[in-house]
Amino acid sequence: MKLKCIKTSVSIFTLGIFLLISTSVNAQIAIAEKAFEEAEKKGFSGVLLLAIDGKVVFEEATGFRSFEEKTPLLPTDIFEMASVSKQFTAMMVMKCAEKGLLGYEDFADKYLDIPYKGISIRQLLTHTNGLPDYQAVMDRHWDKSQVADNAAILEYLRKYQPPMLAQPGEKYEYSNTAYVFLASIVEKVTGRDFIELSREWIFNPLGMGHTDIRTLEEKAKVPNFAAGHLKDKNGDYINANKFHSSDYTVWLGNRKGPGRVSSTAQDLLIWDQALYAGTLVSKETLDLAFSAQILNDGSLSNYGFGWDLSEDPDFGKIVSHTGDNPGYKTLIMRFVDQNKTLILLNNNAHEAKDALIKGAVEALRGW
Of 265, 285, 262, whose CA–CA distance to 341 is shortest?
265
83 as an active site residue: the answer is: yes
Q: List the catalytic residue out of 22, 45, 83, 299.
A: 83
Q: How far is CA 208 from CA 45, 105, 141, 262, 263, in A?
A: 23, 31, 38, 11, 8
What is the C-alpha end-to-end distance of the chain, expressed in Å? 39
Of 72, 68, 39, whose CA–CA distance to 349 is shortest?
39
For residue 302, give every residue at least 6 positions away whose Cβ sits within 8 Å of its Cβ, in sequence order, or none. 292, 308, 309, 310
Instruction: Report the side by side order of strands in the sheet with 212-213.
Output: 79-80, 261-263, 212-213
Distance CA 77, CA 228 (A): 12
Helices (H), the chain: 2-42, 86-98, 121-125, 134-141, 150-160, 176-190, 194-198, 204-206, 216-220, 248-251, 265-277, 283-289, 353-365
DSSP 222: -
Name the β-bridge partners of 331. Answer: 322, 344
> Is there a contact between 176 and 135 (Cβ–Cβ < 8 Å)?
yes
Q: How many CA atoms, within 13 angstroms, populate the side-chain half-sphere of residue 327?
A: 30
Catalytic residue ranges: 83
